[in-house]
């Protein structure tokens, strides 16, 4: 199950593969002395099963690096991010509810082709909100 506002791009080839959440769950059990950190995915790559693994495993870092790129929906679509500001904020709320005490970091692009001052201000607003 993906977070609201994000679509799944992965296409399974039958029953031969597993999802990333299951892989992370398995390797964290196999190697309990290793710390695992999942970094820089697209926001669509944080379905609830992955958040549940991060929350439940001692050796999976409670840090989520989740690139926003912009705080403006129109700019996000021009960047081909294919989600809205609102869906990003809903995902952040979901992450915080599933992983108490989570630390968050992000990436931003400013000065993207055609970005207006108002669009830039939306990015500043997103940073302040999150």
- Computed over every residue of the chain, the mean pLDDT equals 90
- Does any domain span residue 70? yes
Whether residue 12 is contained in a domain is answered as no
Residue 68 corresponds to which tokens in the numbers above? Answer: 């926003």
- pTM of the full structure: 0.85
The residue segments making up the domain with residue 94 are 20-129
CATH code assigned at 113 = 3.80.30.20
CA triple 1-17-57, angle to 5 deg: 60
The residue with greater pLDDT, 6 or 99, is 99
Domain count, the chain: 1
pLDDT of 2 strictly over 80: no
Residues 6 or more apart whose CB falls under 8 angstroms from that of 36 comprise 24, 27, 28, 57, 59, 60, 61
């Amino acid at each position: 199950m993906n977070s609201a506002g994000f679509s799944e791009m992965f296409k399974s080839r039958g029953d031969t593969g597993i999802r990333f959440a299951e892989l992370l769950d398995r390797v964290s059990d196999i190697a309990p002395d290793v710390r695992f950190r999942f970094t820089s995915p697209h926001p669509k790559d944080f379905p609830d099963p992955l958040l549940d693994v991060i929350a439940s495993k001692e050796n999976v870092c409670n840090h989520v690096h989740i690139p926003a790129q912009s705080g403006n929906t129109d700019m996000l679509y021009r960047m081909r991010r294919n989600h809205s500001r609102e869906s990003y904020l809903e995902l952040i709320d979901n992450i915080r509810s599933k992983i108490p005490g989570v630390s968050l970091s992000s990436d931003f692009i400013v000065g993207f082709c055609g970005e207006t001052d108002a669009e830039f201000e939306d990015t500043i607003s997103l940073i302040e909100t999150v």
